[in-house]
Chain A
Amino acid sequence: MNNKKARLFIEFYKSTLFYNVLITVVTLLFNPSIYFFFISLCAVGFCASILFKEFYKKDQYYFYYNCHIQKKHLILFSFLSNILIVAIILIILLWLNILYM
């Protein structure tokens, strides 16, 4: 992947993150737990943010198509990025837990 494509993937991910975190915070009102927060970030919030884009920002995919990037690759990259970030936070939490037990 060249630099230009990497920047575009990251930009798309950032654009999903705003709606994802927003929806995830709202779902926390019904189940205030750190683990539910992570599950929502990777599943409920993520799917809702992609659906939001599908209904209201569909034309913006042409920004990426014109740089030879497919929608399925953008979604997959964002999904895997969420999993990676959640995994890193969980490892840090686990490590802190072991450290201060």
Chain B
Amino acid sequence: MAQHSLHVDSVIKHFANRKVLSDIYLSCSTHEIVAIFGRNGSGKSTLMKIIFGSEKADNKFIKVDDNFLNQPFTKNCGIGYLPQHSFVPKYLTVEKVIFLFINANKTDSFISDAVIRTIKKKKVKVISAGELRYLEIMLILFSENKFAILDEPFKGLSPLLIEITKEIILQQSASLGIIITDHDYKNVIDIATKSYILKKGKLSPMNNAQQLTDLGYLPKLN
């Protein structure tokens, strides 16, 4: 299996006069599941959009393998992004979404998934929020990508679907590098191979889960 690397460095982003991101270094390779933790409004989603290329930054340095990229999603460099909010057009059927999004050689294995099989004939607007989120995660993980960026993938999923999704993320990490953020930190820690915490615009590597409390992401228990 080919080994790929993603390097993100020197990202600077201001909103109005507020510096949101200023001291960022992040790397991810095939087989790695990189977790990013941070409070609401700390800039996690903004950072992920900058890496994907849909959000402009004041300064950034993004490299996939040996290629420097300005707007990664426009090139076929293999970065997929699951945004925080639903992105699949609601008027389409699940089957049509798969037909449009997934390459023909992967369609059969995609449709053979137990959850997808039960919803494939339905329109996206009638499936539940959890089923929709699961479909979107699957679309990103089964696309022809080298890296997948998942912004709050567990949002709205039932405990059973979370377990299934974690299993699929672990399986797909055999051929993908995955960057993930979610406030369901226990499930993220379960699967992460490397973690960072984003605070006051600075992304710091995490050595142990205790740092989530020390750096103010989790409340201190007396």
Contact = CB atoms under 8 A, between A and B. Distances in A.
A62 B83 CA distance: 8
A67 B140 CA distance: 10
Contacts of B213: none
B80 A66 contact: yes
Interface in A48-71: 57, 59-63, 65-68, 70
B52 interface: yes
Interface residues of B, number: 24
Q: Which of A7, A15, A60, A65 has the most CB of B within 10 A?
A: A65
17 contacts: A7-B99, A11-B89, A11-B92, A11-B100, A15-B91, A59-B87, A60-B89, A61-B87, A62-B81, A62-B83, A62-B87, A65-B54, A65-B81, A66-B73, A66-B80, A66-B140, A66-B143
Given A4-B100, A62-B54, A68 B76 contact: yes
A57 B88 CA distance: 10
A3 to B, nearest CB: 9
Q: Which size bracket describes the interface of A in this complex?
A: 10 to 19
Nearest to B76: A68
Contacts of B75: 68
B101 A59 contact: no
A66 B101 contact: yes
Dominant secondary structure at the A interface: helix
B101 A67 contact: yes
Chain B interface SS verdict (over half): loop
B145 to A, nearest CB: 9
A70 B92 CA distance: 21
A59 B76 contact: no
B197 to A, nearest CB: 26
A25 interface: no
A26 to B, nearest CB: 21
A89 B204 CA distance: 61
A94 B175 CA distance: 58
A8 interface: yes
B18 interface: no
Contacts of A63: 87-89, 101
Given A15-B89, A15-B91, A60-B87, A66 B81 contact: yes
Q: Which of A11, A15, A68 has most B Cβ within 10 Å? A: A68
Interface string B18-53: 000000000000000000000000000000000011
Contacts of A59: 83, 85-87
A61 B55 CA distance: 13
Nearest to A8: B100
Contact of B74 (A7, A8, A68): A68
A68 B99 CA distance: 16
A90 B220 CA distance: 72
Contacts of A70: 74
Given A15-B91, A66-B140, 13 more contacts: A59-B83, A62-B81, A62-B83, A62-B87, A63-B101, A65-B52, A65-B53, A65-B54, A66-B143, A67-B100, A67-B101, A68-B73, A70-B74
